[in-house]
Structure 1
């Protein structure tokens, strides 16, 4: 499935640039207030900014993805640009690029659009890693890269750096890949992650305080299903040191009439990195793996009272069922068992009118 050319976030529409965006693009890339950290990086003329604009449109024509123009839902005004581009054919990575108009800074829009861009790349553009090249002096952009889920992995000298200018820091998104079995080191990291997630209040199949032995038994059961081919693990790993950051399971049921569907189980990311977009990146990788398996519909269960429904809604899921009070967390504390579903072809879910 090709990447969608237009993507909606909570406050923004991200779309390919059209001819009518030229003036807004030039103004954005010729405003010295947004280049305070590197004045020499600003387009040296309106003509140079226009060349960048046309190159961006050509990138879309050639590759089917690129840097979006971000416009506000309310006014339709262009607030900035964001997206991914191949800097050159030999770079072997996608560069996460984002720039906000000066008057739109400070409202979290950069984080919103960069998080969406990174997740979109993990889901639809897995051929190349996702990176951002940022000067450490540009602290707002550093925060944006970190908030999008990227980590520091090294440095890189850019072609337009001044002779005495420090290199840019390279930030890279974690990987998320299908795994059919766990080696000993990976298994131990997953067990640690599961225990820490549960202890931090995550809804991952246990009540608070579950023993490590109980979690180990559940992990062993999952491994048995993996051996039988009924379950696949999606493991998220750090780009910096390959440690396990997240985990999700895709489970197939025994009913052949449901062979085009899977259940997503035990979604978890490192509790120490909450707020860093890892969950969104993990779900994006899970969707990519499911599509590769030929899956059309994904469902998952959510425990009410955790606030996670909003997260899954942002990942494209919709509530499709609810059993009231089915989850007894503690005596007198009963939660709803909510089923949420997403079609991976993004067709609208509609009930069958036949009784």
Structure 2
């Protein structure tokens, strides 16, 4: 696996990232949408996300040079908080899940953050998925949660869990 921070956003890379996002969502991943989705459902959000974060995109490429996993180290927009970033849109393509790519991606994010001179990474995740246990296994600590703040459907709410990792 090869990780690249701030890869050139070509049309081909955009489509691979979009495909990954679609596949992760349809496999049940908690990445901002509820399945089923098509690439066209996600495209407007992806265009906005990638336009804002071109320098903060971290992509893991598999041995064939294809997108295997990715995340964004999002600037929080405040000089008072310049020592940390939000980790958003963490995803591993379903065909690569279960191979340790998620762990490798999170460790690569730590390395990238250190190279950027950051002191901490923060993220949120959807309660009820068990992914908070994964984040704990790579050094994140829960610092709070907002009950029922994520609505998947009427009457189907989840907590939003806030986590931090000091580097």
Structure of greater relative contact order (alpha carbons < 8 Å, 6+ residues apart)? 2
Q: What's the CA shift for 1:196?
A: 0.2
| Match in the other structure for 1:44 | none
Query: 1:180, 1:226 within 8 Å by CA — same for their partners in 2?
Result: no
| Match in the other structure for 2:104 | 281
Task: Point out the structure with the larger strand share.
Answer: 2
Secondary structure of the residue that 1:189 maps to in structure 2? helix
C-alpha separation in 2, matches of 1:214 and 1:320: 32
Q: Deviations over 1:252-302 (max 9, x none)?
A: 112210000100000001112221101000111111111111111100011
C-alpha separation in 2, matches of 1:273 and 1:179: 22
C-alpha separation in 1, matches of 2:92 and 2:29: 10
| Match in the other structure for 2:59 | 235
Larger radius of gyration between Structure 1 and Structure 2: 1
| Match in the other structure for 2:83 | 260
C-alpha separation in 2, matches of 1:205 and 1:300: 13
| Match in the other structure for 2:128 | 305
| Match in the other structure for 1:322 | 145
| Match in the other structure for 1:222 | 49
The number of residue pairs the alignment matches comes to 167
Q: What's the CA shift for 1:180?
A: 5.0
Alignment gaps of 5+ in structure 2: none
TM-score, reference length from structure 1:
0.46
Q: What's the CA shift for 1:210?
A: 2.9
Task: Select the residue among 70, 73, 78 that pairs with 1:247.
Answer: 70
C-alpha separation in 1, matches of 2:80 and 2:27: 38
| Match in the other structure for 2:32 | 205
Alignment gaps of 5+ in structure 1: 1-173, 345-355
C-alpha separation in 1, matches of 2:37 and 2:8: 24
Q: Which runs of 4+ in 1 moved over 3 A?
A: none
Q: Deviations over 1:41-73 (max 9, x none)?
A: xxxxxxxxxxxxxxxxxxxxxxxxxxxxxxxxx
C-alpha separation in 2, matches of 1:224 and 1:270: 22
Query: 1:181, 1:223 within 8 Å by CA — same for their partners in 2?
Result: no
Query: 2:7, 2:59 within 8 Å by CA — same for their partners in 1?
Result: no
Q: Deviations over 1:124-149 (max 9, x none)?
A: xxxxxxxxxxxxxxxxxxxxxxxxxx
C-alpha separation in 2, matches of 1:301 and 1:208: 20
